[in-house]
Amino acid sequence: MTMPTKSKTKTTVWVMEKGQIHPRLDHLTTEEPLEIRLVPFQKTVAVTMRTPGADFELAAGFLYSEGVVSRREDIRRISYCVDESVDGEQRYNIVNVELRDGLIPDLQPLERHFYTSSACGVCGKASLEALRIRGCPVIPSGPTVTPEIIYSLPDKLRAAQSIFTATGGLHAAALFDAQGQLLNLWEDVGRHNALDKLIGTALLSDELPLNNCIVLVSGRSSFEILQKSTTAGIPIVCSVSAPSSLAVSVAKEFGITLIGFLRGERFNIYTGLQRINAT
């Protein structure tokens, strides 16, 4: 039986510094494909480039965000694929998700996910209309937070990024409570994968919706980040870079406070100003 792929990969690099070159052992963020299959349909619904780790949570979060499952009980079992042709070898890049008896999801919307890159997921291929059709509710009002709580989040995220510290090449999604306490964090080569891991963890622990929580993602806020946050009921979404126009549209329509350019003691509020208590 082979062991699961690690999240870090060793390599040798040659460092050029002040006209001198010397070799050095370095670590890279591992990037490998993960195929998500639905049982008993025997259908591949997505192939995403991800950093190995929390693969079951990633699969659960992805299926929840896409509306394939709506509650923990919809998933009977998640397991790695076993290749019977090679002495029962486990395939750690293929995850089987067994749905409950009688659940027949609409799989047509998932066709756009057959290949999902780590860089941008399905940017530009999904639409706001899809969320409307699914009937995602507007997120309830509250909580309200002070600017000081928002200011504190990036440092807490960076301090908890163990793989980024070793590789310097990884995104993260962190979940905080309304007081700014870190609840969970996942890292991945893709921001959308890291958020799926967060949401999948909450789904499998019966902790959804996350109506009193804050999410901070490294990089920018895309449509997909806001789509996933909407389905999970997250009221405040922050990023260290800019949101896209479609991300702002989603946040505005579904009642999310969207914060961007969160750096030091400064940030922009694009929607949902009422949740920020600046007095």
Per the model's pLDDT, the better-predicted residue between 34 and 134 turns out to be 34
pLDDT band at 111 (very low <50, low <70, confident <90, very high): low
Using one digit for the tens of pLDDT, what is the confidence trace for 63-76? 999 899 999 999 99
Give the start-to-end residue ranges of the domains of the chain. Answer: 147-275
What pLDDT is attached to residue 118?
A: 47
What is the crossing angle of helices 223-232 and 245-254, to 10°? 20
State yes or no: pLDDT of 82 exceeds 70: yes
238 labelled catalytic: no
The yes or no reply on domain 147-275 and CATH 3.40.140.10 is: yes
> Mean pLDDT across the stretch 112-118?
51
Q: Which two tokens stand for residue 233?
A: 């009921």
pLDDT band at 178 (very low <50, low <70, confident <90, very high): very high
> Mean pLDDT across the stretch 210-214?
97
Q: Are 153 and 216 in contact (CB under 8 A)?
A: yes
> Mean pLDDT across the stretch 189-198?
93
Using one digit for the tens of pLDDT, what is the confidence trace for 214-223? 999 998 898 9
What pLDDT is attached to residue 120?
A: 43
Q: Which two tokens stand for residue 6?
A: 């690690």
Separation of alpha carbons 84 and 150, rounded Å: 50
φ/ψ of residue 90, rounded to 5? -80, 140
State yes or no: pLDDT of 193 exceeds 90: yes
- Strands in 75-83's sheet, in edge-to-edge order, are 43-50, 32-39, 89-99, 75-83
Q: How many CB atoms lie within 10 A of CB 151?
A: 16
Using one digit for the tens of pLDDT, what is the confidence trace for 234-261? 999 999 998 988 899 899 999 999 999 9
What pLDDT is attached to residue 123?
A: 37
Separation of alpha carbons 255 and 257, rounded Å: 7
Separation of alpha carbons 33 and 229, rounded Å: 24
Separation of alpha carbons 55 and 81, rounded Å: 12
**E strands present in the chain:** 8-17, 20-29, 32-39, 43-50, 75-83, 89-99, 171-177, 182-188, 213-217, 236-239, 257-260, 268-271
- Predicted model pTM: 0.85
Angle at 194 between CA 24 and CA 224, to 5 degrees: 125
Name the average pLDDT for the chain. Answer: 85
Separation of alpha carbons 66 and 58, rounded Å: 12
What pLDDT is attached to residue 220?
A: 87
What pLDDT is attached to residue 132?
A: 80
- Which residue is catalytic, options 120, 123, 136, 238? 120
3-state helix, strand, coil in the chain (%, to 5): 30, 35, 35
What pLDDT is attached to residue 210?
A: 97
Separation of alpha carbons 256 and 150, rounded Å: 15
State yes or no: pLDDT of 265 exceeds 70: yes
Percent of the chain with pLDDT over 70: 85
